[in-house]
Amino acid sequence: MENYELIFAILFQLAQLLLVVLLAPLLTGWVNQCQAWLQNRSGAGVLQPYRVLRKLFNKDAVMAHNASPLFRVTPYIVFGCMWLAAAIIPIIAVDLPFSQAADVIALVGVFAVARVFLALAAMDIGTAFGSLGARREMLVSFLAEPALLMVFFTASMISHSTQLPRIVEALAHHHFMLYPSLAFAALAFVIVLLAENARIPVDNPSTHLELTMIHEAMILEYSARHLALIEWASSLKLFAYISIGIALFLPHGIAEVGNWGGLTLAIVALLLKMMLAGAALAVLEIVSAKVRIFRAPEFLGTAFLLAVLGLLIHFLLGA
């Protein structure tokens, strides 16, 4: 019986691995399409990111003559880190084989590893825009990571665990309860999501003005398959962050290992949640304007304050 349970768990894990890597570009395309509709444009369609990836993979890579091995290997490391992060988050089922690695502190560390390698690669060539983007990225991450940790600590105090599967089980398999502390944590998480994924108001993913770029300035020297991997990793990162938000604040519908009927419902629920989250993200970006980089600390400081308030409310009220 244990062997069958292990086989089911491995199959569930493989299903999630394939699901996240295939759906991540679709989520990006959905957000872009929603923005186009809100701006009264037809848009390129939700499948446009797949077309871009195919075009980039079919091109020949061009690199600077002074590019080091670090610059060449960074796209693969960044893509691997983002895929790992999305794979260990309980998206369709809990108690998967990789669940033991889904510790919230380790998850923040995975994101940090990818960020550090990307910043080092941006400075490796020695261009002005790459170094500028790397410094700005470090500024944003320096302010966003503490707020993200406070959000995780709030959920951890409620579930008495730092493991995402345990947090999901504690919040999803009990009677519906409104936690005031999680309300503040959710607001803080939305701000961190916008900042960490280079979205408006902190950054503009579609800008072509180098002086205002953060993420895009770091990848100007990449092309072909390397650029495709980084763009795919960006989609995986957005997918992972939204999946974290679902696991923390809307975990209902996630199946248990071995429940194949529940797996179908979990995938349908995931698609609906992703559609709603992508549409909400598009609305937020449409109604917002990009702030100056010097105002980003105030924006992210608000996230940290909200996350700390959520933690204090939990300590004071126990809810």
User: Computed over its alpha carbons, how large is the radius of gyration of the chain?
Assistant: 20
pLDDT in tens, 136-145: 888 888 889 9
pLDDT in tens, 233-289: 999 999 999 999 998 888 877 766 556 666 778 888 888 999 999 999 999 999 888
93: β partners: 255
Q: Where are the domains of the chain?
A: 2-317
User: Residue 62: enclosing H or E segment and its boundaries?
Assistant: none
Span 88-109, mean pLDDT? 80
- Does the structure show a pLDDT above 80 at 319? no
How does residue 80 score in pLDDT terms, banded at 50, 70 and 90? very high
Print burial letters for 36-71: b (CB count within 10 Å at least 16), e (below 16). eeeeeeeeeebeebbebbeebeeeeeeeeeeeeeeb
Q: Are 56 and 222 in contact (CB under 8 A)?
A: no
| Residue 265: other Cβ atoms inside 10 A | 14
- Does the structure show a pLDDT above 90 at 228? yes
How does residue 1 score in pLDDT terms, banded at 50, 70 and 90? very low
Q: Which residues contact 187 (CB under 8 A, 6 or more apart)?
A: 303, 306
How does residue 174 score in pLDDT terms, banded at 50, 70 and 90? low
Q: Which residue has the tokens 């409104």?
A: 178
- 110 SS3 class: helix
Helices (H), the chain: 2-38, 48-57, 69-88, 104-124, 128-159, 164-172, 180-196, 215-218, 224-249, 260-287, 296-317
